[in-house]
Amino acid sequence: MTATLAALIGAAPDAAEAIRYSGRSIAYGDLARCAARVAGGLAALGMRANDRVALWMPNAPAWLETLFALGHLGAVAVAVNTRFRAVEVADIVGRSRARALVLWPGFKGADFVEILDAVDPAALDRLEAIVLYDEGEAPAKLPGRLAGKRVLRYADLVSAPPFAAAAGTAESGAAIFTTSGTTKAPKFVLHTQRSLVDHARAVAPAFGYGAADAVMLQALPFCGVFGLSQALATIAAGRPMALLPAFEAEAAARAVAAERVTHMNGSDEMYRRMLEAAPGARPFPTLRRAGFASFNSDPEEFVAFGDSRGLPLAGLYGMSEIQALFAAQSPGAPAAERARGGGTPVSPEARVRVRDPESGRILPDGESGEIEAKGPSLMAGYADDPAATAAAFTEDGYLRTGDLGYTVPGGFVFHARMGDALRLGGYLVNPVEISSHIEAHPAVAGCQVVGAKTKRGERAVAFVVKRAAAAADEAALIAHCRAGLAAFKCPEAVIFLDAFPVAESANGAKIQRAKLRDWAKERFGA
């Protein structure tokens, strides 16, 4: 089976419903034909194979149309997070050498024109064209510094003659995603058409997307692998997605009910907000598979919360380099298993192993170390960075994920990032083990645990947000740990906060553990 984006969308029945968006329905055949016309319009602009086009817009059918259009050309979509601001946009658009930028300046959720006006002009030097998408709102006035760039409406692309040539191949670059990094510029993760399509075709049956009544809620943004992996798998199954421009809890909850959504994926924060917005004991009776990534919650507590409201949560695993939905827990498994990240890889060709980071030894089931993975969903590499690409892979082609976990028969369990893992008493320790114990104290609303170098060596440091009016102090919480944990796991200090520092990402707010590590370092003067 041909592994191109054109083949993926062309395999769906022409009249089958692909997208439900803003009260209208779009068939797969119409989506494919529109993509061919957009490809023709981009070709008329001078876009060719291997060129890069930045997509900086919320979810809309046009995002997917442009991705598939670029697939026809053999060109590459550079996914720009809609939450990014001037410095980040300048870095990605400039460093990627994008020749065109597609954006939705009239979208009410973000002032893209104001952000663009603050972008360093030098970062836009390589841009030759700017494509403005709209949904009937008044035309936007672009910053004067963009004078000289060719500016046209997305509707102009849609009205072009269809692109007839087949320039894109399975090995053509298809999409660039940015890694999340806080201390240096993010790396550009490059996926080919083959890796995107093969992965979508593996995810669809593994997640049950091909069921005759399956409907996907697409509230995750296309600009991240979490959202795009889900969308392409839905297309591989030939089923409809209920598409939201951006995640809003009330709108998402209404869409699940109105569209009889059966499948979705999201972060713990997204689900919690949806459940808060939806009344009733079982507000989403049609939803039978809800994959989740735990960014801010105790996973076991969160799965129990979901079960109490009839929400069948199950843990996932993925990253930009191997795509989201690489592995998943079974929705029919016991709650303790569903709470874990990791699970069974969706592709029968995927392989996972765990290596001791100090000795280099491949570890047996149950022993924790760095997760290494390979399979059809692997990236081609980091674009324009051969040294980083070489460092990311082992000699036999496994990706060094930088994640802590262990294998089990038929799958694996993800604990935490290796940077978050603690080396305490000679053992690799998952910080969640400590934070979960502290959160069991009635005075604690939330806890995050990081490591710090102290006079006694590497030790755990707990950051705690107390419940309102709670009176517990540092000594009480350390005593609570000593009563239930091995001595080497007990925190050296407990630091109280009003709230955890967070950073916005494509999939919602994430706690800034790097900032917590800096604060812990300051506490001990290391």
**pLDDT tens track for 461-474:** 999 999 988 888 99
pLDDT digits (tens, 9 = 90+) for 350-389: 999 999 988 999 999 999 999 999 999 999 999 999 999 9
Question: Which one is predicted more confidently, 503 or 18?
Answer: 18
Whether 139 shows a pLDDT value over 80: the answer reads no
* Mean pLDDT estimate for the chain: 92
Tell me: pLDDT of 58 over 60: yes
pLDDT (mean) for 290-294:
92
For residue 87, name the pLDDT band (cuts at 50, 70, 90): confident
182 falls in which pLDDT band (50, 70, 90)? very low
Close Cβ partners of 358 (under 8 Å, ≥ 6 residues apart): none
Q: To 10 degrees, what angle do helices 431-439 and 474-484 make?
A: 110
**181 pLDDT more than 60:** no
390-412 pLDDT per residue, tens: 999 999 999 999 999 999 999 99
- pLDDT of residue 503 exceeding 60, the answer is yes
When pLDDT is averaged across residues 311-319 and rounded to a whole number, the result is 95
Mean pLDDT on 45-71:
97
Q: What is the pLDDT of residues 222-243, one digit of tens each?
A: 999 999 999 999 999 999 999 9
What is the token pair recorded at 347? 């592709």
Asked if 19 and 32 touch (Cβ cutoff 8 Å), the reply is no
Residue 411, H or E segment: strand 411-417
Q: What percent of the chain shows pLDDT beyond 90?
A: 76
- Cα separation, 38 vs 280, in Å, equals 45
The answer to whether residues 442 and 474 touch, using CB atoms and an 8 Å cutoff, is no
**Residue among 321, 5, 64, 374 at smallest CA distance from 178:** 321
